[in-house]
Amino acid sequence: MLAVAEINYIRHEVNIKDGNYSEIAKRMGRDPRTVKKYADQEDFNLEIRPKQTRPSPVMDSVKPIIDEWLLEDFKLKKKFRRTAKRMWEQLKEDFAFKGSDRTVRDYVSNRKKELLNESSQAALPLENRPGAAQVDFGEAPFKYQGEQIVLPYLVLSYPYSNAFYFQVFPSQNRECFLEGLKRIFHHMGGVPKTIRFDNLSAAVKKVLPNGERQLTEGFQNFVLHYGFECEFCNPNSGNEKGHVEAMVKYVRNNFLLPSLHVLDLDELNKMLWKKAEKDRERKHYEKESLISKLFEDDRKACLVLPTKEYQCIRYETLKADKYGYVKLDKNLYSTSPRFALSKVLIRISYNKIDILIDNHELVVSHSRLYGQYRKSMKWQPYLNLMAKRPMALKYTSFYEQLPPEWQTYFHSCTTSEKSEALKLLGTLLKDYDFNRITEALNIASEHGHPSVESIKQVFYQIINGRGIREELHIQKPLPSMPIATRGLQHYDQLLKGAE
């Protein structure tokens, strides 16, 4: 390519002065054909030549393999990904690759950039790409113990495939929200690359003026643990996650109406996995493919699960009242008399409230209460105190909760026996339930009113495998034994033998 000044000179000398090609070429030190080309050229539009792709017999056969490895590795943390050198070694070991490591490194470097560019485009909002999900809560009526109640359910949907999962919970609080997401991730065996949320309080602490979100500490740690990218709708813009909102209605109408009878939420939720997966055996409303088949693309695009599950718990320090109760969400939980008017550490999950001491040793565990102004009482930590006032036993709810055998036993006890029995229960109920303890009472009572010490001995015989021994079944009859007689005649016979 000649310089612009040279081209202008050629065109001026030839076209304006009618100069000779050879003479001009001689003056410029150029080939006459070059002079003629630029003198006669009419089109000077910028020409962009396509990049030539030369066939590469050695690399072409392994490029799909490397692409698959790169896509697999993008689901992992960077420290767990293969290097280009390791890929080259694998190609040599597994596919008898003959190319150089430099060739593989160049291809991996360029292909990574291309794939990362595609990945960034795939994460654009509202693009129905595999591996992107949306989340929202819905509500439905249920029947529990003869009453009509309303419970929330968490839905995670995949707009690309139109697949979904859902789980029912007692509340929309932070612990239920995170527990639901965690269950879905571990059930399907992967984590969506991006998840779009509403500005629900379990995740968003504050919406900032510049459009960013201040996340709750628990949700922020959850996001970091599972590695997905979270997106949030603009305030009052639920249409930005329209797919999951439509799926919330679909789930309610097709699976939760009319009202289901609920005895155990965990058992119900196990059944709901199957219902959601069975629903995929129908065609997508637009793509004319089975949802189950499209969902495999969603699954392949998901991130790999971390090695450990996230513990969906939080801790609070609360002050107990004079009876040893702490208040959480307007409900009361018993601790221990020794914590009266003191601060205690509480570990909170979606279904449990654990009372801990400073070194995180468990004092007592409660099922979490939902609703308001309810009370959960665990009597075991209070029994040593009750043993000092045994006559008050009959006026406590603990007495009403006792198995009938123990109520009968306490009715026959003296004051001192009641005290000793309460101390024994206070010790045993730390690690055992009433079934084994009542079994020990029944065995010890076979010959009348037992002492507390005998109940204790029988109990430890039972748990150590030395409770009721099996009867011996003798197959052969024992030989008849001579009748034993008393008297000195036996000695007379012995002396006669000595003589």
- pLDDT tens-digit series, residues 166-180: 999 999 999 999 999
Q: Which residues pair with 362 in a beta bridge?
A: 356
Does 479 reside within a domain? no
**Which DSSP category does 369 fall into?**
P
Residues 218 and 166 in one domain: yes
Residue among 4, 114, 5 nearest 63 (CA): 114
Confidence tier at 227 by pLDDT (50, 70, 90): very high
Residues 369 and 399 in one domain: no
Residues 252 and 393 in one domain: no
Does 47 reside within a domain? no
Residue where a domain terminates, one of 122, 145, 177: 122
Task: Kindly state the helix (H) or strand (E) to which residue 492 belongs, with its residue range.
Answer: helix 489-498
CB 248 within 8 A of CB 155: yes
Does 251 reside within a domain? yes
Does 489 reside within a domain? no
CB 169 within 8 A of CB 277: no
Query: Tokens 């000695």 label which residue?
Result: 491
For the whole model, what pTM was predicted? 0.69
Residues 356 and 399 in one domain: no
What secondary structure does DSSP assign to 94-152, as a single string?
HH---S-HHHHHHHHHHHHHHHHHHHHHHTSTT---TTEEEEEEEEEEEEETTEEEEEE
The domain spanning residue 259 has which CATH number? 3.30.420.10
Average pLDDT, stretch 477-489?
62
User: Distance between CA 171 and CA 177 in Å, rounded?
Assistant: 8
Residues 170 and 254 in one domain: yes
Q: What's the CA angle centered on 319, arms 317 and 324, to 5 degrees?
A: 120
Residue among 326, 133, 359, 137 nearest 248 (CA): 137
Does 23 reside within a domain? yes
- pLDDT tens-digit series, residues 259-277: 999 999 999 999 999 999 9
Does 107 reside within a domain? yes
pLDDT at residue 244 is higher than 80: yes
* The pLDDT of residue 6: 85
pLDDT at residue 474 is higher than 80: no
Residues 239 and 264 in one domain: yes
Does 499 reside within a domain? no
Residues 190 and 272 in one domain: yes
Residues 224 and 347 in one domain: no
Query: Tokens 């009453």 label which residue?
Result: 147
CB 188 within 8 A of CB 310: no
Confidence tier at 496 by pLDDT (50, 70, 90): low
Task: Kindly state the helix (H) or strand (E) to which residue 375 belongs, with its residue range.
Answer: strand 375-376
User: Distance between CA 166 and CA 182 in Å, rounded?
Assistant: 12
What is the count of structural domains for the chain? Answer: 5
Residues 80 and 141 in one domain: no
User: Distance between CA 341 and CA 416 in Å, rounded?
Assistant: 30
If one compares 54 and 217, the residue with the highest pLDDT of the two is 217
The domain spanning residue 339 has which CATH number? 2.30.30
Q: Report the Cα–Cα distance between both ends of the chain, in Å, rounded.
A: 146
Average pLDDT, stretch 221-241?
85
- pLDDT tens-digit series, residues 44-103: 665 555 555 666 778 888 999 999 999 888 877 787 888 999 899 999 999 999 899 999
Residue where a domain terminates, one of 278, 301, 324: 301
pLDDT at residue 404 is higher than 50: yes
CB 156 within 8 A of CB 186: no
What secondary structure does DSSP assign to 275-338, as a single string?
HHHHTTSSB-TTT-SBHHHHHHHHHHHSBPPPSS-----EEEEEE--TTSEEEETTEEEE--GG
Residues 196 and 73 in one domain: no
Side chain identity, residue 87? M
* The pLDDT of residue 125: 43
Residues 289 and 322 in one domain: no
Range of the domain at 83: 59-122
Does 285 reside within a domain? yes
Query: Tokens 């995949």 label which residue?
Result: 158
Q: What is the mean pLDDT of the chain?
A: 88
* The pLDDT of residue 498: 53
pLDDT at residue 165 is higher than 90: yes
What secondary structure does DSSP assign to 224-266, as a single string?
HHH-PEEEEPPTT-GGGGHHHHHHHHHHHHHHS-SPEE-S-HH
* The pLDDT of residue 466: 62
Confidence tier at 163 by pLDDT (50, 70, 90): very high
Which of 96-110, 223-237, 285-299, 462-476 has the weakest average pLDDT?
462-476
Residues 348 and 442 in one domain: no
User: Distance between CA 472 and CA 340 in Å, rounded?
Assistant: 55
